[in-house]
Amino acid sequence: MLFSELAVYFSRLEETTKRNALVEILAELFGKTPPDEIASTTYLLQGRLAPFFKPVEIGMGEKYVMDAIARAYETDRDEVRKRFDRLGDIGAAAREMAAESQVAPAPEHTPEVREVFERLTGIAGTTGAGSVERKVADVAALLARLDPLSAMYLCRVPVGRLRLGVGDPTILDGYSFAKAGDKSLRKRLERAYNETSDLGLIGQTLWQQGIEAVDALTIRVGNPVRPALAERLPSADAILAKLGRAAVEKKFDGFRCQVHKLGDEVKIYSRNLEDMTGMFPEIAQGALKQVPAHSAIFEGEALAYNPLSDEYLPFQETTKRRRKHNIENAAQELPLRLFAFDLLYADGENITPLPYVERRERLKGLIQPDDTILLSEERIATEPSELLEVFNDAIQGGLEGIMAKKLDAPYQAGGRNFNWVKLKRAQAGELQDTVDCVIIGYIYGRGKRSAFGVGALLVGVYDPDRDVFRSITKIGTGLTDAEWREVRERCEPYISEEKPARVESILQPSVWVEPEVVIEVLADEITRSPVHTAGMNGEKQGYALRFPRLISFRDADKRPEDSTTVGEIVEMYGQQGAKAVPA
User: Nearer to ligand ATP by C-beta: 7 or 257?
Assistant: 257
We find the least distance from the C-beta atom of residue 435 to ligand ATP, in angstroms, to be 8
We find the least distance from the C-beta atom of residue 301 to ligand ATP, in angstroms, to be 4
- Of 299-328, binders to ligand ATP (CB under 6 A) are 301
Q: Does 249 bind ligand ATP (CB under 6 A)?
A: yes
We find the least distance from the C-beta atom of residue 252 to ligand ATP, in angstroms, to be 4
Among 3, 117, 153, 341, binds ligand ATP (CB under 6 A): 341
DSSP-assigned beta bridge partners for residue 547: none
Per-position x/- string for 430-469, each x denoting binding to ligand ATP as judged by CB under 6 A, each - no binding: ------x---------------------------------
Q: Cα angle at 274 between 343 and 300, to 5 degrees?
A: 30
Per-position x/- string for 389-428, each x denoting binding to ligand ATP as judged by CB under 6 A, each - no binding: --------------x------------------x------
User: Nearer to ligand ATP by C-beta: 67 or 561?
Assistant: 561
Here the contacts of 390-399 (C-beta below 8 Å, separation 24 or greater) are 390/248, 390/249, 390/250, 391/236, 391/248, 391/423, 391/580, 391/581, 392/581, 393/250, 394/250, 394/251, 395/425, 397/250, 397/312, 398/311, 398/312, 399/250, 399/251, 399/252, 399/253, 399/312
We find the least distance from the C-beta atom of residue 377 to ligand ATP, in angstroms, to be 9
What is the DSSP annotation of 22-40? HHHHHHHHHHHS-GGGHHH
User: Nearer to ligand ATP by C-beta: 147 or 562?
Assistant: 562
User: Nearer to ligand ATP by C-beta: 73 or 252?
Assistant: 252
Query: How many angstroms separate the CA atoms of 107 and 151, rounded?
Result: 11
CB-count exposure of residue 355 (10 Å: 0-12, 13-18, 19+): middle
- Of 152-181, binders to ligand ATP (CB under 6 A) are none
Query: How many angstroms separate the CA atoms of 195 and 179, rounded?
Result: 21
Contact 234, 580 (CB under 8 A): yes
Among 43, 53, 117, 252, binds ligand ATP (CB under 6 A): 252
Rounded to 5 degrees, φ, ψ at 295 are: -130, 145
Q: Cα angle at 518 between 284 and 230, to 5 degrees?
A: 65
Among 114, 134, 256, 485, binds ligand ATP (CB under 6 A): 256
User: Nearer to ligand ATP by C-beta: 52 or 341?
Assistant: 341
Contact 269, 226 (CB under 8 A): no
What Å distances lie between residue 400 and 253, 325, 422, 424, CA to CA?
7, 29, 10, 6
CB-count exposure of residue 503 (10 Å: 0-12, 13-18, 19+): buried
We find the least distance from the C-beta atom of residue 404 to ligand ATP, in angstroms, to be 10
Among 135, 156, 163, 251, binds ligand ATP (CB under 6 A): 251
- Of 223-242, binders to ligand ATP (CB under 6 A) are 229-230
Position of minimal CB gap to ligand ATP: 256
By CB under 6 A, which span of 43-51, 187-195, 244-252, 459-467 interacts with ligand ATP? 244-252
Q: Does 262 bind ligand ATP (CB under 6 A)?
A: no
Among 272, 376, 471, 565, binds ligand ATP (CB under 6 A): 376
Q: Does 274 bind ligand ATP (CB under 6 A)?
A: no
**54 in catalytic set:** no
We find the least distance from the C-beta atom of residue 251 to ligand ATP, in angstroms, to be 4
DSSP-derived 3-state class of residue 93: helix
Q: Total binding residues for ligand ATP by CB under 6 A?
A: 13
User: Nearer to ligand ATP by C-beta: 267 or 271?
Assistant: 271
Nearest to 154 by CA among 121, 131, 120, 126: 120
Query: How many angstroms separate the CA atoms of 194 and 393, rounded?
Result: 34
- Of 1-60, binders to ligand ATP (CB under 6 A) are none
- Of 542-581, binders to ligand ATP (CB under 6 A) are none
By CB under 6 A, which span of 21-29, 51-59, 209-217, 250-258 interacts with ligand ATP? 250-258
User: Nearer to ligand ATP by C-beta: 427 or 537?
Assistant: 427
Rounded to 5 degrees, φ, ψ at 309 are: -100, 0
Of the listed 251, 267, 405, 406, which one is catalytic?
251
Show the beta-strand stretches assigned E in 214-310: 229-232, 246-250, 255-262, 265-269, 295-306
User: Nearer to ligand ATP by C-beta: 60 or 572?
Assistant: 572
By CB under 6 A, which span of 81-89, 172-180, 248-256, 290-298 interacts with ligand ATP? 248-256
Bridging pattern class, strands 295-306 and 336-346: antiparallel
Q: Cα angle at 59 between 53 and 61, to 5 degrees?
A: 125
We find the least distance from the C-beta atom of residue 352 to ligand ATP, in angstroms, to be 15
Query: How many angstroms separate the CA atoms of 93 and 81, rounded?
Result: 8
Largest Cα–Cα separation, the chain: 79
Contact 143, 99 (CB under 8 A): no
User: Nearer to ligand ATP by C-beta: 19 or 251?
Assistant: 251
In b/e form, how buried is each residue of 100-116, taking b as 16+ CB within 10 angstroms?
A: ebeebeebeebbbbeeb
User: Nearer to ligand ATP by C-beta: 352 or 376?
Assistant: 376
We find the least distance from the C-beta atom of residue 359 to ligand ATP, in angstroms, to be 12
Residues counted in the chain: 583
Positions annotated as catalytic residues are 251
Contacts with ligand ATP by CB under 6 A lie at 229-230, 249, 251-252, 256, 271, 301, 341, 376, 403, 422, 436
